[in-house]
Structure 1
Amino acid sequence: MNTIIQSPLFGILLSIICFEIALTIYRKTKFPIFNPLLICVLIIVFILIKFNISLDDFNIGGKLISFFLGPATVVLAVPLYRQLSLVKKYLTPILLGITVGSFTAIISVIYLCKLFKIDKELTLSLVPKAITTPIGIEVSKIIGGIPAITVSAIVITGIMGAIIAPIICKVFKITDKVAIGIAIGTSTHAIGTTKAMEMGETEGAMSGLAIGIAGLITAILAPILINLIN
């Protein structure tokens, strides 16, 4: 039994099976809080605790999935290619929107953490919460954060964004597809982008574009803003 658990195949298969179960639940209910990633994580945590399986054993296969996470985002270029005319038309507003969104995400975390007297190392770990995981981990290392906490914050941010984004658009009557996609991608990275793709191809393409640009801008701005504020 230990040989099976300590095999890379165990973590990979468990992740795939749990995600398929979570996806089925979401498709049946269509309720935003039943986000497939959230449900998948909860099922995996339950199984690990119930059967006393260590996180290290699970991560033997889990790390392989993480390794392919970066290259997998290349798929987002397909819908973006189909929307190139819109990108060219709204290039300036798109870049300004992503820059302002990234700046706001960093500043809001820093000042809210100061307000609630949160430890400096934890604050630095939360700064890259709004960007995609591979970039967020590297930014966290550069600025002195804890990558494991950063990953958790990124996942929670993405899930909350995927749940809240459609509600905010409805409440504030935001109907422009480009604006919706850019806002979701800038603030909730890849997890939010899955929701944007459900909303429409244009929203998904713009959200995918925002992921990469927001990651790059955050990587540049975060160290500068942290030094200035400190």
Structure 2
Amino acid sequence: MNASLWQVVIGHPLFALALTLAAYQIAILVYQRSGWLVLQPVMVSMLLVVGVLLLCGVEYSTYRIGAEPIAWLLGPATVALAVPLQHNIKRIRQLFWPIIVTVLAGGALSVVLTLVIGWLLGADWAVLMSLAPKSVTMPIAMPVADQIGGIASLAAVMVMLTGVIGTALGPLLLRWAKVDHPAARGLSYGMNAHAIGTAHALQEGEECGAFAALAMSLLGIATALLMPLLLAA
């Protein structure tokens, strides 16, 4: 392929869209063939997209505009999580107070341990505040981090790493701890690996996915409301 034709290809409006879809399909194939939980499709596809953009000299802003149709689907995909929640609403009502206690206690413990470990390792205030909301989904973590004195872009990276690592290690740790109940597993995925963990939970079963979506939502709301009040005071 000569240089002029290549420039036409990377300059096409559908280049970013095709690149994103192709990278994700390759990542899924690698994940399924390898069976390695560390090779999460989100991480692998991101690395593929970044590598191609660097090789082609395409600016992220240009890629972002081209991939906008995929971003539009995030809203409907999030709303669709209400389907497994509705199907398991009776079970959720039965476990309402245990769910609330688990989300609040687990969320608080996660933040405290993160801040303590970061402080012991010598992280400055901006880094600590970027790490604090790492367990909630990115659209919540970024503005929260910015509000409490962190760095939104660093928070986004930490959220992604938390989701990938949590999803990779979660099944192994839950198996070691002999946690088999779908509700308990779902809460763990949703609290510790947010959207990526919820996607994995849905693969385990609808009940597991429903509780993961619920935990992710409740923890996100609690973080958005309480963390700025507690850490920015």
TM-score (norm 1): 0.90
* Pairing 1:142–2:147 present: yes
Q: Distance in 1 between matches of 2:43 and 2:28?
A: 10
RMSD, matched Cα? 1.9
Structure 1 segments unaligned to the other structure (5+ residues): none
Q: Distance in 2 between matches of 1:227 and 1:64?
A: 36
Structure 2 segments unaligned to the other structure (5+ residues): 1-5
Q: Distance in 1 between matches of 2:112 and 2:230?
A: 8
Q: Distance in 2 between matches of 1:177 and 1:205?
A: 9
Whether the aligned pair in 1 keeps the contact of 2:10 and 2:56 (CA below 8 Å) is no
Map of 1:117-196 to 2, 5 A cutoff? 117-196=122-201
Partner of residue 30, structure 2: 25
Amino acid at match of 1:56: S
Partner of residue 85, structure 1: 90
Q: Distance in 2 between matches of 1:115 and 1:9?
A: 47
Which structure dedicates a bigger proportion of its chain to helix?
Answer: 1
Amino acid at match of 2:163: G
Other structure's SS at 1:144 match: coil
* Pairing 1:96–2:101 present: yes
- Matching residue within 182, 207, 210 for 1:205: 210
Amino acid at match of 1:12: L
Query: Using a 3 Å threshold, how does the CA distance of structure 1 residues 138 and 111 change in structure 2: closer, same or farther?
Result: same
Query: How many correspondences in the alignment?
Result: 228
CA deviations over 1:129-184 (Å, ceiling 9, x no partner): 10011111221222122221111111110000111010011111111211110111
Whether the aligned pair in 2 keeps the contact of 1:130 and 1:186 (CA below 8 Å) is yes
Q: Shift in Å at residue 3 of structure 1?
A: 6.6
Q: Shift in Å at residue 122 of structure 1?
A: 1.8
- Structure whose alpha-carbon radius of gyration is higher: 2
Q: Distance in 1 between matches of 2:163 and 2:190?
A: 9
Other structure's SS at 2:223 match: helix
Q: Shift in Å at residue 12 of structure 1?
A: 2.4
Whether the aligned pair in 2 keeps the contact of 1:186 and 1:210 (CA below 8 Å) is yes
Q: Distance in 2 between matches of 1:40 and 1:192?
A: 16
Query: Using a 3 Å threshold, how does the CA distance of structure 1 residues 169 and 20 change in structure 2: closer, same or farther?
Result: same
Q: Distance in 1 between matches of 2:68 and 2:141?
A: 16
Other structure's SS at 1:128 match: coil
Other structure's SS at 1:38 match: helix
Amino acid at match of 1:128: P
